[in-house]
Structure 1
Amino acid sequence: MKTRLPLIILLNAVGLALFICWYMPVNHGFWFPMDSTIFHFFNSRLVENHTLLWLVALTNNRAFDACSLVAMGCLMLSFWLPADRTGRRRVVTIGLTMLLIAVVVNQLAQHLMPVQRASPSLYFTDIHRVSDLLDFPTKDASKDSFPGDHGMMLLIFAAVMWRYFGKKALGISLIIFAVFAFPRVMIGAHWFTDIAVGSLSAVLIGLPWCLLTPLSDKIIALFDHYLPGNNKL
């Protein structure tokens, strides 16, 4: 992969513009009414629809987070199983590279984005919290919800799968992203813009420098060189 600087700059500009158009306006401009409408749409239905109540409770339980890891692992396994020994080792090194990139981008975003805000379930009053409606362990609030770290990790996974495994892998990854990221919005633990602005802008700014340059390939090569059992996986 040669460095695709014009595309990197374009994606960075889009990510920066997305963040600025949300961050600069007073009370986040048109984004806040959108956030508020989405939150109240789901929140008002929690007491009207018992099935929805249990759905958002279950999908925000910690065990469901583990299911997202299983889903991502199964997708990578679908490429690992039919591969030869060299191919299987490459799938493993790509997975390790993805984890490293995800941790670095997430930490940079958390520390460099000048935003700290509580989730809508803590911001608004006179609302319904799932933890009050059900005696069931679930995450329905966050004191610092921006950017959405869960959504960010899933977007990074989707981008890495696209880069190394193609469009079909991207499509499945985006389904995984939707299934496991948006329950946080439905329950009120995240604003919609925590993901649509926070997660996406961080990925657009940070990830191109890894995937549209030789950097990710070099990290994969380093893992391949230093991991024990070369060609034995």
Structure 2
Amino acid sequence: MNNIRWPFILMLNALGFALFFSWYLPEGHGFWFTLDASIFYFFNQALIKSHTFLVLVAVTNNRVFDGISLLAMGSLFFWYWRKESATGRRHRVIMGIVMLFCAIIINQLGHLIPESHVSPTLYFSDIYRVSELLHFPTKDASTDSFPGDHGLMLLIFTGFMLRYCGKKAFFIAMIIFLVFIMPRMMIGAHWFTDIFVGSLSIALVCLPWALLTPVSDGLINLLDRYLPGKNQAIN
């Protein structure tokens, strides 16, 4: 119990709860809705002002682009994996397995929040939709956009990079997060608060209990003990 960073965990939890309830409690979500609407309309109007921007938004919300986000995360992970010894590489792979396990659990916990709403493209009328402006397969709407699953997964990856790979990896992971989450807001498939309130508050509440307690290290050590190939890694 001595290696649990209680003050930091409680501070991050308090920040997460404060962020969420600042959005959840006010009628109509208070100033957050004004911010959400302003951001949505800014990008929505830009769709008809620039064909280049329209095409960019369409392409970056195609399913193929999701694969590119996985490639970006995998490349960062691989960069740190390749620098390790055989034992270190095994540890990195197991860390990745634990990260995926935590992501599944945290994502399920996030969906227990008693809040659900449609994306701004389905909420507002008399707006522009990329799927109607271009004949191109793209995702510009969601019937359940809160919290942002994609943003939450990227934040969990970012947290694990900070915990196990250091500040430089965290900085690069944050760039990956921003690059791959922005298209969702620019096309109107997510509100700003779906990610920067929903996803972020869940990450602030849940991730510290995995990364700042013995939970993640314990799971890594447990898998290291029982998964095959340990002797080969040592040799």
- Counterparts in 2 of 1:218-233, with a 5 A limit? 218-232=218-232
TM-score, reference length from structure 1: 0.97
Q: Distance in 2 between matches of 1:83 and 1:19?
A: 39
How far the C-alpha of 1:232 sits from its partner, in A, is 3.5
- With over 3 angstroms needed to count, the CA separation of the structure-2 counterparts of 1:231 and 1:164, relative to structure 1, is farther
1:95 is the counterpart of 2:96 = yes
Distance in 2, matches of 1:110 and 1:34, equals 23
1:107 corresponding residue in structure 2: 108
Structure 1 match to 2:55: 54
Unaligned residue ranges in structure 1 (runs of 5+): none
* Residue of structure 2 in register with 1:133 after alignment: 133
Work out whether 1:214 is the aligned partner of 2:221. Answer: no
How do 1:1-233 residues align onto structure 2 when only pairs under 5 Å count?
A: 2-111=3-112, 113-232=113-232
Q: Secondary structure at the match of 2:180?
A: helix
CA-to-aligned-CA distance 1:93-142 (integer Å, 9 cap, x gap) = 1111111111110110012x111100000000000000101111111000
Mapped to 1, the partners of 2:137 and 2:218 lie a distance apart of 42
How many pairs does the alignment contain?
Answer: 232
Root mean square deviation of aligned Cα: 1.1
How many angstroms does 1:152 deviate by? Answer: 0.5
The amino acid across from 1:92 in the alignment is V
Instruction: Report SS of the residue matched to 2:147.
Output: coil
User: Following the alignment from structure 2 to structure 1, what is the Cα–Cα distance between the partners of residues 63 and 193?
Assistant: 22
Specify the code of the residue in structure 2 equivalent to 1:91: R
Q: Which runs of 5+ in 2 are unaligned?
A: none
Aligned-residue identity in percent: 59
Distance in 2 between the 1:220 and 1:105 partners? 17
Opposite residue 109 of structure 1, the aligned amino acid is G
**How far apart in 1 are the matches of 2:231 and 2:49?**
57
Please say if residues 89 and 231 of structure 1, whose CA atoms lie closer than 8 Å, have aligned partners that are also in contact: no
What CA distance in whole angstroms lies between the structure 2 residues aligned with 1:193 and 1:33? 11
| 1:86–1:231 Cα contact (<8 Å) kept | no
CA deviations 1:147-184 (Å, max 9, x no partner) are 01100110110010000110000000000000111110
State the AA in 1 paired with 2:181.
A
Instruction: Name the CA distance, whole Å, in 2 between partners of 1:31 and 1:212.
Output: 30
Give the counterpart letter for 2:17 in structure 1.
L
